[in-house]
Structure 1
């Protein structure tokens, strides 16, 4: 698939020179520092040496005082508290963190995860009825609730207070809950808006500890779960999220809780876990329980106290993940065939596919897989409990949540973010939704947004690549959305010893005229370029720099993102 290369050309030359002189660094590093918003030594220190004291005061969040007061009184008076979370990774880590921390000292809490298939996303009628029947006096929702107007009213009518901890975009009006914690509230002045759902719950616990003048050491033991939530929910790795992820990854790699250790062992990852390895290793396994059966299993795994218990629970979840992968592959093949065999779908600006027997648990994954082949906003729909439910995914720069909002008259329910959303509608509305969504996308998306882009940080020579340079790059992590690993371009290079691995991956030694060095490069899925690179033609190459550890011998290699021939 043809890709656009977007070279960062907005860097302030005077700032680059100032950083180079004042910090004693190379021009290339000064360019990268400037792109990260670093303007002086203090900025560099804050960026490269994250500290927990950089976290914001939780009481800056709207309604935090009310939430802490209500939670404190419920705990002091022995009220029954229901911790209610969504069934995805963010929701289950939220519940494991909130319930796990408070249940160490209080025994009046219980947790509740809705059934993806019987109850659907968010705060369900069945969940509120369970709370009423069981005599709960307080419900704390995590990673959901910001649009649960009817369910909150239902709980209040039964004398149950509700504290909402959510990070999704609110509607025009907020539910009439006792407290609504959501940094995306228009009237909330909290300095950082991009917390995960688990992050909002963590801030409530942080505020609770401050109010009670408790040490936060016990709470910080849950940072490994918080890092998993941040990585898996694809929120920006900037500001507060970057600090939390930095320390969460430290715990995950050095002293993970038994449940996460069991998942790490299943991933067979030889290196330290990063945001990326959580996204592709731990996250899918936690999600698999809710996709294939019930997400309670994930929470129980994350709360496991012993390695033996965790290993047994993780093994069962891994089996669910294997089954999920089979469904994912077969449905993706079916979806792609539907697109390729329909001229209208092939030429559309969006993809909206519906089949009543597709597995609800994998349709979000299928939407992402479709975008890899047909790069455009995509909604995959299936039938569940007499309704049509779907998952939407988007492309760089296009707000799929706004596009879905334009179709709200056809929907029973919807919610989400710029790049991912969920919908529920009546079966008879599917065709009208397909047509309206396509109309909205076609009238608002740009041609550039329909071509995948690679953001290039800097053009460098191969001679610029050495371990000292790489060690500084590595300290710019954790990498993730809005703090991506630097991507470089080297121009007029040529390949030697090219070969194709496993019939699809390209590997060669890359050299550059006028420089002395050579370095190994590998491009996953780029085997189609073999004949061209093997011909001796010069080309431009976009790549990231990685460390390869083979039998104790460490070397640098380039991970190819794309190749362009002149």
Structure 2
């Protein structure tokens, strides 16, 4: 059996034995396409094979109609966004055109998943990242990866609808598992940090933590504590597996590769912002010590330089649908092409309450009385969430990204809050 391997992760000089290893992050690759997700690399391979078959007259000779590859760009866009690669260059073109294809609802699986998730608008990058992507990933995280294939390859609406409903159920199960593990992981992280914030990396571990949600746990720790984070599940077999997530300026994939070279990890790999690994349970302490030493300089520098870059200042009255529609013309936004961030200085919180288990929704009021709906995702039990829920007297500086909220059938401006600050008194 001949095998062709397609990948996009960082590769060392020892490649797997195969007919071909197609990877723009091989050490000998000169394509300059190292930012592509694996799905983007696969699409280029399909394009190249299709070109050869066309030029050789293979389709005509066999009485087969040549495929329209553009109709698959919806899948390419979905994979590109969910892999959180920079939306620049070819990736930007993939997503722009893929979203157009997705809006036509030709893929019955994506259409069924959108309907099950109650997505009332044409999918955008945010919907792919936070609505469709998590539901598809839930299947693989809980050992049902074939369900995603069933959905995306379905040609009958009944099959697609049944698969979409099962994915919805699995996603709710995944959310509950994640919630329990994140609570335990945060407790470990807070004990490790103690009264100091000088740790360059967080490494947490638990017995029999579900391997399917460790990447999500690492992401939550990274977002909460603003430093590279590793989450590991200690199995009864004596071997631990885990995932890691990084912050800009810290190449976590390279650090994991160095840990493999030193024999601390059994295996591991990834890229700058994310990595996976396995190790012996008894080597947990050695891994923690190695990463703290290896990442100390770059991580501390990155944390010191961390700041929320603001593109402009607005009042609630300036957050109009006309502005939001104009901003969308510069999209699609994502990694490598961040959505503009606006500061809303000295706005009061008219009210705030919980939205679900993890989020805080509120209403901002400007000095002229104009109002803006806002939500801070995953902010419950964080300093930002507590400030939003408790402060009613003093005005706050609030920063975030503007989106159109289609809930209830009407489009209204909404702010996705990234940060909140108490104004300095003169």
Q: Cα distance 1:523–1:262, how it changes in 2: closer, same or farther (>3 A)?
A: closer
- Equivalent residue, structure 2, for 1:507: 363
* Separation (CA, whole Å) in 2 of partners of 1:529 and 1:337: 21
Count of aligned positions: 400
Q: Does 1:535 align with 2:393?
A: yes
TM-score normalised per structure 2: 0.85
- Equivalent residue, structure 2, for 1:168: 9
Shift of 1:204: 0.7
* Separation (CA, whole Å) in 2 of partners of 1:216 and 1:541: 53
Check whether the contact 1:523–1:561 (CA below 8 A) recurs between aligned residues: no
* Separation (CA, whole Å) in 1 of partners of 2:195 and 2:254: 22
Q: Cα distance 1:216–1:377, how it changes in 2: closer, same or farther (>3 A)?
A: farther
Check whether the contact 1:412–1:425 (CA below 8 A) recurs between aligned residues: yes
Q: Does 1:355 align with 2:206?
A: yes
- Residue of 271, 277, 284 corresponding to 1:423: 277
**Which whole-Å deviations, capped at 9, do the CAs of 1:300-343 have from their partners, x for residues lacking one?**
22211101011122222332222222211111112222233456
- Equivalent residue, structure 1, for 2:168: 318
Check whether the contact 1:206–1:216 (CA below 8 A) recurs between aligned residues: no
Q: Cα distance 1:462–1:285, how it changes in 2: closer, same or farther (>3 A)?
A: closer
Q: Cα distance 1:178–1:502, how it changes in 2: closer, same or farther (>3 A)?
A: closer
- Equivalent residue, structure 2, for 1:212: 53
Shift of 1:444: 3.0
* Separation (CA, whole Å) in 1 of partners of 2:280 and 2:416: 46
Check whether the contact 1:498–1:533 (CA below 8 A) recurs between aligned residues: no
Check whether the contact 2:185–2:204 (CA below 8 A) recurs between aligned residues: yes
Check whether the contact 1:505–1:527 (CA below 8 A) recurs between aligned residues: no
Q: Cα distance 1:387–1:239, how it changes in 2: closer, same or farther (>3 A)?
A: same
* Separation (CA, whole Å) in 2 of partners of 1:440 and 1:403: 7
**Larger deviation, residues 518-527 vs 323-332:** 518-527
Shift of 1:172: 2.7
- Equivalent residue, structure 2, for 1:152: none
- Equivalent residue, structure 2, for 1:337: 187
* SS in structure 2 at match of 1:304: coil
Check whether the contact 1:378–1:392 (CA below 8 A) recurs between aligned residues: yes
Shift of 1:217: 5.4
Check whether the contact 2:9–2:269 (CA below 8 A) recurs between aligned residues: yes
- Equivalent residue, structure 2, for 1:404: 256
Q: Between the two structures, name the one with larger relative contact order (CA 8 Å, sep ≥ 6).
A: 1
Check whether the contact 1:352–1:380 (CA below 8 A) recurs between aligned residues: yes
- Residue of 284, 305, 320 corresponding to 2:134: 284
Q: Cα distance 1:246–1:432, how it changes in 2: closer, same or farther (>3 A)?
A: same
**Which whole-Å deviations, capped at 9, do the CAs of 1:277-307 have from their partners, x for residues lacking one?**
2122221222222221231222122211101
* SS in structure 1 at match of 2:68: helix
- Equivalent residue, structure 2, for 1:470: 324
Shift of 1:432: 1.0
- Equivalent residue, structure 1, for 2:147: 297
* SS in structure 1 at match of 2:365: strand
Check whether the contact 1:355–1:381 (CA below 8 A) recurs between aligned residues: yes
- Equivalent residue, structure 1, for 2:21: 180
* Separation (CA, whole Å) in 2 of partners of 1:471 and 1:377: 35
Check whether the contact 2:88–2:336 (CA below 8 A) recurs between aligned residues: yes
Q: Cα distance 1:444–1:483, how it changes in 2: closer, same or farther (>3 A)?
A: closer
5+ residue gaps, structure 2, are: 60-64
**Which whole-Å deviations, capped at 9, do the CAs of 1:503-532 have from their partners, x for residues lacking one?**
8432122246xxxx9342424245534588
Shift of 1:552: 5.6
Matches within 5 A, 1:49-128: none
- Residue of 209, 217, 228 corresponding to 1:377: 228
* Separation (CA, whole Å) in 2 of partners of 1:280 and 1:473: 20
Shift of 1:441: 2.1
* Separation (CA, whole Å) in 1 of partners of 2:407 and 2:214: 38
Aligned residues: CA RMSD: 2.8
Q: Cα distance 1:312–1:471, how it changes in 2: closer, same or farther (>3 A)?
A: closer
Q: Cα distance 1:306–1:210, how it changes in 2: closer, same or farther (>3 A)?
A: same
- Equivalent residue, structure 1, for 2:245: 393
**Which whole-Å deviations, capped at 9, do the CAs of 1:172-200 have from their partners, x for residues lacking one?**
34335322211223432324321111111
- Equivalent residue, structure 2, for 1:93: none
- Equivalent residue, structure 1, for 2:30: 189
* Separation (CA, whole Å) in 1 of partners of 2:420 and 2:191: 30
- Equivalent residue, structure 2, for 1:437: 291
Check whether the contact 1:349–1:377 (CA below 8 A) recurs between aligned residues: yes
Q: Cα distance 1:532–1:318, how it changes in 2: closer, same or farther (>3 A)?
A: closer
- Equivalent residue, structure 1, for 2:76: 226
* SS in structure 1 at match of 2:151: helix
**Larger deviation, residues 274-283 vs 184-193:** 184-193
**Which whole-Å deviations, capped at 9, do the CAs of 1:223-273 have from their partners, x for residues lacking one?**
111111011110111111111111111222222412222211221122222
